[in-house]
Amino acid sequence: MKLTTSIDVSSVGVTYNNGVQAITNVNFSLAAGTICGLVGINGGGKSTLFKCLMGLIKLSEGEISISGFPVNQALKKNQIAYVPQSEDIDWNFPILVKDVVLQGRYSHMGFLRKASKLDNQVIEQAMTKMGIIDLKNRQIGELSGGQKKRVFLARAIAQQSKIILLDEPFTGVDFTTEEVIINLLRELRDSGHLILVSTHNLGVVPDYCNEVIFINRTVIAAGETKQTFTQYNLEKTFGGVLKQVGILGQTLHDDDDDRAVTIISDHEKPAVFYGARESTDSIIISQSSSQQ
Ligand SMILES: Nc1ncnc2c1ncn2[C@@H]1O[C@H](COP(=O)(O)OP(=O)(O)OP(=O)(O)O)[C@@H](O)[C@H]1O
């Protein structure tokens, strides 16, 4: 049977043991050849959703189908690679960069996990692609934030899964690394992969995501970016906290940033963000249909 790369989430909800209902009645479907941005406020349920897709937490309601299989079977069939949030990784664990990338090959290896010539070739290629080949014998804990992200992306590439989940890959990375990551995602999309990426870096979402899901405990809006990434949906999702807007890798408006942010909105039109790359006295976050 030929696998059709897809994610189908139907009426999914998760209530943690402490009684927190993190997500409820979440529904969406994604197909191959997609980069979908998953955006929402802190605590909106993005990481919870990723953990559901990876079978790391139990659903309280609903079901998930990955390429037509339940999650546990899809994982056995090596359908999904996951790049977790940096906070979820124990950086003190002593392991070399090349061995982290080799973990991506585990599902291709036998019981004894002995790396074949092909496994070694694939990890070398993945590390070269991500520009970290010179770091391969370094301890992961010794690397910078951006270098660590590249290592985990190399692990995902080495896994050769058709679906890749990335939980906030741009946090703490510089502009160059962000560009490397975005170009990689585009390349993977164009070769038929399905990528779901959570990000607070809203400024670049229309640039590389052809679909977007707004989430705040449930799906607020989902669909093609051109129709869905609108000021209306941004305001509906973020409400009064629409200040974590980044443009081209820069966080524009942290809590202690006193630069002015102006939002000129027209609810009917797609939101397009543009503004000064360098620090200026005021930054205009605006939208314009002519920028499309
Ligand atoms: N292990 C857990 N036990 C109990 N509650 C949790 C657990 N993990 C997350 N939560 C709660 O579930 C809700 C959703 O959290 P989640 O981490 O999924 O949000 P998020 O959208 O990824 O947030 P952020 O943007 O800050 O990373 C929050 O209210 C959070 O406090």
- For 149, the enclosing helix (H) or strand (E) is helix 145-159
Residue-range domains of the chain with CATH: 6-79+161-240 (3.40.50.300)
Ligand 1 site, CB within 6 A: 16, 18, 20, 22, 40, 42-48
Q: Provide φ and ψ at 134, rounded to 5°.
A: -70, -10
For the chain, give the longest Cα–Cα distance. 60
pLDDT of 290: 33
> Mean of the per-residue pLDDT values for the chain?
82
What ipTM was predicted for this assembly? 0.97
Does the structure show a pLDDT above 90 at 74? yes
> For a pocket test of ligand 1, which of 17, 48, 50 has the largest count of ligand atoms closer than 8 A to its C-beta?
48
Tens of pLDDT, residue by residue over 16-50, are: 999 999 999 999 999 999 999 999 988 899 999 99
| Torsion angle of the four alpha carbons 59, 65, 66, 72, in this order, in degrees rounded to the nearest 10 | 50
Q: How far apart are CA 250 and CA 270, in angstroms?
A: 21
pLDDT tens string 97-108: 999 999 999 888
